[in-house]
Amino acid sequence: MKLPDETQTCQNWNVLSLANLAGTGNQKKGNELRKRTFSISRAKDMPGGSPRRRSAYDPAMLSSSSSFARQLLRWYDRSRRDLPWRIDPAVGGEPNPYHVLVSETMLQQTQVATVIPYFQRFLARFPTVADLAAADEQEVLRHWQGLGYYSRARNLRAAARMIVHEFGGHMPTEPEELLQLPGVGRYTAGAVASIAFGRRAPILDGNVQRVLCRLDAIASDPRDRQTQQRLWQRAEEILPRRRVGDFNSALMELGALVCTPRNPQCLLCPVRDHCEAFASGLQEKIPAPKAAKPTPLVRRQTYCVRRADGQWLLEQRPSTGRWAGMWQFVTIAAEDPLDASAARAPAQSAAPLPIRVRRIHPMGIVTHSLTHRRYEFQVFRCEAAATGILADNCPRRWTTLERLDDFPLPKPHLRIAQMLRDQPE
């Protein structure tokens, strides 16, 4: 949504507000409002040629935090999203600590809209921390399949086992205890402690970082260690005495819905009077964007090997590294760049396959992007030319396409499986 002209908006707002106050005869409030009226200076006052606004912003406003917290919580009570891990205010009650832990783990590096159906399916299968602790890792990975960052699923299961075996089945209530759980860092510990148990623990995720940087006009990189320390300190300073969990949730909600990375909706922000970046016209420039880095391209060749009885050969990935412990079609490294003009089946693979094959036919290319790298899979369909499989330390299984759901597959191989279904012989 394109915001109106900033100068005209500020002028109109002040003129209308002063007129309304004059109409009621409230001279004192009118004078106070005049003092807070923004003055528009020349474009040279701000880097990049944008007009700089001056206001009565006071950095001490956030130090007391009382008015800031009241305004933020009032907005949160009206505008909060209805999410399955939150308590409905109309119903009341306390948050389920296990639900908070699962949701916060899933929300790491993942958007809310993506998480919701996974959260619901995961809780339907593992409704309690004891159920998750008793589950087989492969089953947990299957229910995480497609959500990515699979170490989160393994750590969540390991945390459930520690809660059951070392904490008597009860979620730790203090941040220091929560930090002992596998995969739980300072942010997750603070979120669970504050949201589930009301502890005065700060949080600092990407949304909160952005909000705090703009509130205090912190122009340095929020990923810098010193800036991180400053933001953690600030997040703790502004915590209210009551409703800490709602306050932390409100900060995240504000960053997700209003104080967005691009085109922040400042005119809708309930705490813009506390924001130094908005007062200075710097909200679009703070925080500084992360410098783009080239992402390396990793090429692979995947062979979908079919046996005479219609079953396909799967292999399990190593227990460490990317997609650890998951299953895939036979995949090897592709040392040479792929021929862009025509995808031809190689006469001989760059590395030995675990079984002799024949009738190799190209099916297409599957691409997959991660945060720090890109993958390109050149996919081939082929027939097994022998019954014996290479004896090594890699577990392998024959299965039908109908039974693939029994195996947790990385997203690229889920797409390859769909290619097999869509391209029958």
Could you tell me the residue ranges of all domains in the chain? Answer: 6-37, 60-280, 297-422
Residues known to be catalytic: 104
Checking if the pLDDT of 345 tops 70, the result is no
| Confidence check: pLDDT of 37 > 60 | no
Residue 425: the pLDDT is 67
Identify which of 182, 151, 185 has the alpha carbon closest to the alpha carbon of residue 322. 151
Tell me if 279 sits within 8 A of 55, measured CB to CB. yes
pLDDT at residue 335, as a whole number = 63
Over residues 13-38, the mean pLDDT reads: 38
DSSP lists the bridge partners of residue 397 as 314
Instruction: Give the 3-state secondary structure of residue 54.
Output: strand
Q: Select 297-422's CATH number: 3.90.79.10, 3.40.640.10, 3.90.1710.10, 3.30.300.30.
A: 3.90.79.10
Task: Tell me the average pLDDT across 377-398.
Answer: 86
- Tell me which residue has tokens 């087989």: 136
Supply the pLDDT for residue 235: 96
| Residues facing residue 299 across a β-bridge | 376
Is pLDDT above 60 for 61?
no
Distance of CA 159 to the CA centre of its chain: 20
Tokens representing residue 163 in the block: 């809660």
DSSP string, 234-282: HHHHT--SS-HHHHHHHHHHHHHHTS-SSS--GGG-TTGGG-HHHHHT-
**Per-residue pLDDT at 161 exceeds 70:** yes
pLDDT higher at 47 or 419: 419
Report pLDDT digits (tens) over 73-84: 999 999 999 999
DSSP 211: H
Which residues are CB-neighbours of 71 under 8 A, at least 6 positions away? 270, 271, 274
Q: Is 196 within 8 Å of 100 (Cβ atoms)?
A: yes
What rounded mean pLDDT belongs to the chain? 83
Checking if the pLDDT of 419 tops 60, the result is yes
Sorted by sequence, the CB contacts under 8 Å of residue 232 that are 6+ apart come out as 186, 202, 204
> Considering Cα of 154, then 156, then 161, then 162, what sign does the dihedral take?
positive
Q: Please, which pLDDT band fits residue 136 given cuts at 50, 70 and 90?
A: very high
pTM over 0.75: no
| Percentage of the chain lying above the pLDDT 70 cut | 80
Q: Are 183 and 159 in contact (CB under 8 A)?
A: yes
Of how many residues is the chain composed?
Answer: 425
β-pairing verdict for 53-54 and 374-384: unpaired
- Tell how far CA 117 is from the center of its chain: 15
Two tokens, residue 421: 């279904």
Q: For strands 312-316 and 53-54, give the pairing.
A: unpaired
Rounded Cα–Cα distance for residues 234 and 218 (Å): 11
Torsion (CA) 190, 191, 195, 198 in degrees, nearest 10: 0
How far apart CA 54 and CA 60 sit, in angstroms, is 17
Which residues partner with 40 through β-bridges? 53
CATH for the 60-280 domain, from 3.40.50.300, 1.10.340.30, 3.10.20.30, 3.40.50.2300: 1.10.340.30
Of 70-74, 303-307, 316-320, where does mean pLDDT reach its minimum?
316-320
* Mean pLDDT value across residues 151-168: 96
How far apart are alpha carbons 381 and 383 in whole angstroms?
7
Contact status, residue 127 vs residue 395, Cβ threshold 8 Å: no
